[in-house]
Amino acid sequence: MEQENQEINESISQENRKQHYKNPNQNGNSNKSPSTQSGSRSKNVSKSSGSRRRQSTPIDEKLKAFVEINQEAHKQRLNPHYKLDLNSKEKIRITPLGGLSEIGGNITVFETQNEAILVDVGMSFPDEDMHGVDILIPDFSYLREIKDKIKAVIITHAHEDHIGAMPYLYKEMQFPIYGSPLPLAMIGNKFDEHHLKECRQHFNPVEKRKIYKIGEDFEIEWMHMTHSIIDSSSLAITTAAGTIIHTGDFKIDHTPVDGYTADLHRLAHYGDKGVLCLLSDSTNSYNTAPTPSELSVAPAMDRVFAKAEGRVILSTFSSNIHRVFQAIQYGVKYGRKVCVIGRSMERNIEVAMQYDYIKLPKSIFVEPEQIASMNDKDILIVTTGSQGETSSALFRMSIGEHRHVKIKPNDLIVLSSRAIPGNEGSISAMLNHLQRAGARISSDKDIHVSGHASIEEQKLMLRLVNPKFFLPIHGEYNHVMRHKETAMMCGVPERNIYVLNDGDTVEIAPKYMRKVKTVRTGKVYIDNQNNHKIDDDIIIDRQKLASDGIVVIVAQIDGQHSTMLSKPNVTSFGLVADKQDKHFAKEMEDVLEHFLANIKEGLIENPRALENDLRQVVRKHIYRKMKRYPLIVPHIFVM
């Protein structure tokens, strides 16, 4: 088409040149003066132009009327305002308790006047400076306040950031749990680990495309959605105020491994009926290219196994069952037996096989004890540890501490995952260990694809659902802000979009959306060794110890004269070098002596207040000299 247009333009250009640059000897005009020629040419052009002017085509009033009819139909179709009951006084409140300004910890409360439901109860991972903390769970304070209103927990899918905190909630309070089979099976495993088997009685498995009435105020439909874990769902939550669509985590995968594509028809159905509000996944809001299909990793898998000369050790998220399934398929294609190592990986593959999400013959699997006696080219090891977790199987292999697998020079390590923000350092350290042990690291970038929607898929979701109000969720602040811009491009007015923070409560009715209050939120620190909570002040102390060290001062004081009975015992760690210990102890002795010389009247009689005042004096002195805030531990004995 472009070439044809170019040829037409060239033809027109040549014709114009012929018209404007005729040979002056033609038509007997050679003897005419320039002015005569010019005048004659002007008349000819004028006559020619008049004769060539095209008459306007008559307007067909019937066709024009249908243009107006169709334009009005488009306005009606694209404006959800017309589809809602604007006379309704009903309203719904939405409060995220986690999942915003972070990736993880997703939990949202949907609340009417008399009832409430929770959507997902997820965990998140700690920062590197949260020493001794394994996971973070949401603060359940607000749930305790509205406990009697909560009718159910609704689950979208089985990722840890959506179900990981369920055992900790159910140790404290229990509600019916609704979800598709795989998420419930994985929650059941978590309950078993936490000695909560009796909580399985709360399970209510759902059939997708069927509407369930929960309490008196909620009707919910689970719609199949594609993501990086099987059996994911989007939700249609219908209340008296209107229908709310919660996408859950999603991408639009037209060629999923199991062939079960996203149920776009049901989303469009609700969009056509009228949607009050859309809550949508913001994780990949900056990705302009469509997210590749999970099936697209197959060629990369084939390349990896075709070139591997020794063992292939593949690590990915244990929940990404279709990724593991594809790896196993290609391992078997190239004549390898499969050894699954890592508790969560073993458990998830077992569940997927038990419930027929994937079908694999048991004969292809071998136990870790059998690896040592097998040929390296005959082994595929599928394991946990793609994020460099120090307790994972792959990390223990990297430092030579795994019981069954010792890294060899011809081993090929394949990380089929992306680094979760904050885990880059851990992953790099693990890869260094693996390479020092002689292993090769696969550099094929096509071995991983995201499970989250790019901008184009977000646009498709917005157009299908066509909501009046929009709440971008599931992402850091910059992700949700970018998603807001995408929604505005798709016709959602800026006034109808609210960027939430955790704890914000928005009230939505057909005529308005507004913030009405802020509730208490936060994180609770969990030590996985004993599944116990860790108090905030313990974490703060650990952070101080790690960054600024500790100073311990033990002194005996004459209570009558406010003087030291002997030199104080000063011990410090992480603050000064060993060779400076004596000098630092003398410095602290001088600080204590000055403190006692200027002590407030009556303070000597209150040892606790005395220690607190001394702590502040020492803290200020050390900061003034060293610009550090160590943990100060004074022990004063008044004699």
| Structure confidence by residue, pLDDT tens digits, 437-459 | 999 999 888 999 999 999 999 99
DSSP calls for 574-602: SSS-GGGHHHHHHHHHHHHHHHHHTPPTT
556 pLDDT above the threshold of 60: yes
In the chain, the percentage of residues whose pLDDT exceeds 90 is 67
When pLDDT is averaged across residues 213-217 and rounded to a whole number, the result is 98
- What CATH class is the domain 294-447? alpha beta
Contact (CB, 8 A) for 136 and 125 = yes
Name the residue among 320, 221, 342, 345 with its Cα closest to residue 275.
Answer: 221
pLDDT, tens digit, 9 for 90 and up, residues 578-626: 888 888 989 998 998 888 888 887 788 788 888 898 999 999 999 998 8
30 pLDDT above the threshold of 50: no
9 pLDDT above the threshold of 50: no
41 pLDDT above the threshold of 60: no
Contact (CB, 8 A) for 124 and 523 = yes
Whose tokens are 């460099």? That residue is: 388
Helix, coil or strand: residue 533: strand
* Rounded distance between C-alpha atoms, residue 229 and residue 90, angstroms: 36
* Rounded distance between C-alpha atoms, residue 367 and residue 362, angstroms: 11
| Predicted local distance difference test score (pLDDT) of residue 529 | 62
- pLDDT band at residue 52 under the 50/70/90 scheme: low
272 pLDDT above the threshold of 60: yes
pLDDT, tens digit, 9 for 90 and up, residues 218-246: 999 999 999 999 999 999 999 999 999 99
| Predicted local distance difference test score (pLDDT) of residue 332 | 97
Helix, coil or strand: residue 443: coil
Top mean-pLDDT range of 74-83, 378-387, 603-612: 378-387
386 pLDDT above the threshold of 50: yes
| Predicted local distance difference test score (pLDDT) of residue 602 | 75
Question: For domain 536-638, which architecture applies?
Answer: Roll (3.10)
HSE, CB side, 13 Å, CA atoms: give it for residue 324: 31
Where are the domains positioned within the chain?
Answer: 92-289+451-526, 294-447, 536-638
| Predicted local distance difference test score (pLDDT) of residue 545 | 81
Name the residue among 59, 70, 21 with its Cα closest to residue 41.
Answer: 21
Integer Rg of the chain from CA: 35
358 pLDDT above the threshold of 90: yes
| Predicted local distance difference test score (pLDDT) of residue 51 | 53
14 pLDDT above the threshold of 90: no
Name the residue among 302, 340, 305, 307 with its Cα closest to residue 324.
Answer: 340
When pLDDT is averaged across residues 149-166 and rounded to a whole number, the result is 97
Degrees, nearest 5: CA angle 136-141-144: 125
Lowest mean pLDDT among 4-13, 244-253, 377-386, 447-456: 4-13
98 pLDDT above the threshold of 60: yes
- Bridge partners of 110, per DSSP, are 94, 117
13 pLDDT above the threshold of 80: no
Contact (CB, 8 A) for 330 and 266 = no
| Predicted local distance difference test score (pLDDT) of residue 21 | 42
16 pLDDT above the threshold of 80: no
312 pLDDT above the threshold of 70: yes
Query: What's the mean pLDDT when you consider all of the chain?
Result: 89
Distances (CA, A) of 510 to 78, 84, 89, 301, 416: 16, 6, 8, 50, 45
* Rounded distance between C-alpha atoms, residue 359 and residue 348, angstroms: 13
CA 38 to chain centroid, in Å, comes to 75
- pLDDT band at residue 542 under the 50/70/90 scheme: confident
When pLDDT is averaged across residues 514-524 and rounded to a whole number, the result is 94
Lowest mean pLDDT among 28-37, 473-482, 567-576, 612-621: 28-37
310 pLDDT above the threshold of 90: yes
12 pLDDT above the threshold of 50: no
When pLDDT is averaged across residues 260-268 and rounded to a whole number, the result is 98
Name the residue among 220, 267, 234 with its Cα closest to residue 110.
Answer: 220
When pLDDT is averaged across residues 500-529 and rounded to a whole number, the result is 92
When pLDDT is averaged across residues 625-638 and rounded to a whole number, the result is 89
| Predicted local distance difference test score (pLDDT) of residue 449 | 95
Look up residue 333 and give its two tokens: 């294609």
When pLDDT is averaged across residues 533-547 and rounded to a whole number, the result is 77
When pLDDT is averaged across residues 39-45 and rounded to a whole number, the result is 49
Q: Hey, which CATH number is domain 92-289+451-526, 3.60.15.10, 3.40.50.10600, 1.10.20.10, 3.40.50.2000?
A: 3.60.15.10
53 pLDDT above the threshold of 50: yes
By residue count, the chain amounts to 639
